[in-house]
Amino acid sequence: MPRVVDHQQRRREIAAAVWKLAASKGLESVTMRQVAATAGVSLRQVQYYFGNRDQLLLQSLRLLNERSTESARARIEPAADSMGPKELARAILLESMPLDAQRREQLLVHIAYFVRALSDDALAAALRTPDGVDAGELELLLAGLIDEGAASGPLPAGAALKEAEMLLALAFSIGADTLAGLRTIEQALATLDHQLDRLFG
């Protein structure tokens, strides 16, 4: 066994370059050479650690999802016990809003991949079997919180799930609008909080 290198670490560094490029100039500017230059490695290394460009894009998405769920967990779990249902639901939703540089980059890259998946079946399949937290899981989790903390008595059956779908869709959409400069982050949060206030007390 010769010349051992931490492959995982190298791949994360290169993937970080992919995210940076994708967030600042779009997925189509993520070329093998640009990634190499941004990561400060040779073209050959990008080939060596990811093989294809397709694999580079796919694996970089996987690594991004890993990091996202990791930092979300780190932000939420420590304080989860002292949170009511409303605060917890809000914290979950805020994870997908561009509140800081990291989440902003996450959302930009995620949207870029989402759009590419619309015309790339391989990527679409990869998005449907995520590495991190499934979207369906999040809906169920939020629905449980809504039922638990419902403001105006118990909801009709299935209503909480539909409200949870709405909240997630809303967060995604106004987050994207914020990135495009169509809303300010304050407006976006106000719109989201209006729905939270309605559902919870």
Partner DNA sequence: TTCGTTACGGTACGATCGTATCCATAAGAT
Partner DNA sequence: ATCTTATGGATACGATCGTACCGTAACGAA
Question: Which residue number, 9 or 129, has a Cβ lying nearer to DNA?
Answer: 9
Question: What is the smallest separation between the CB atom of 177 and DNA, expressed in angstroms?
Answer: 28
Question: What is the smallest separation between the CB atom of 5 and its own copies, expressed in angstroms?
Answer: 32
Q: Which residues contact 176 (CB under 8 A, 6 or more apart)?
A: 107, 111
Question: Which residue number, 43 or 117, has a Cβ lying nearer to DNA?
Answer: 43
Question: What is the smallest separation between the CB atom of 124 and its own copies, expressed in angstroms?
Answer: 6
The CA distance from 164 to 147, in Å, is 10
Question: Which residue number, 112 or 199, has a Cβ lying nearer to DNA?
Answer: 112
Q: What is the DSSP letter of 121?
A: H
Closest to 116 (Cα-Cα) out of 12, 26, 20, 182: 26
Question: What is the smallest separation between the CB atom of 32 and its own copies, expressed in angstroms?
Answer: 15
Q: How far from 53 is each of 9, 12, 57, CA to CA, in Å?
A: 19, 15, 6
DSSP 49-77: HH-SHHHHHHHHHHHHHHHHHHHHHHHHH
Question: Which residue number, 126 or 142, has a Cβ lying nearer to DNA?
Answer: 126
Question: What is the smallest separation between the CB atom of 181 and DNA, expressed in angstroms?
Answer: 25
Closest to 162 (Cα-Cα) out of 176, 142, 148: 142
38 with 56: CB under 8 angstroms?
no
Question: Which residue number, 41 or 155, has a Cβ lying nearer to DNA?
Answer: 41
| Residues binding its own copies (CB under 8 A) | 23-26, 28-29, 108, 111-112, 114-120, 124, 127-128, 135, 159, 162-163, 165-166, 169-170, 172-174, 176-177, 179-182, 190-191, 194-195
Q: Which does 71 bind (CB under 5 to 8 A by kind): DNA, its own copies, none?
A: none
The CA distance from 135 to 110, in Å, is 13
Q: Which does 32 bind (CB under 5 to 8 A by kind): DNA, its own copies, none?
A: DNA
The CA distance from 61 to 132, in Å, is 11
| Residues binding DNA (CB under 7 A) | 1-5, 7, 10, 29-34, 41-45, 47-49, 52-54
Q: Which does 33 bind (CB under 5 to 8 A by kind): DNA, its own copies, none?
A: DNA
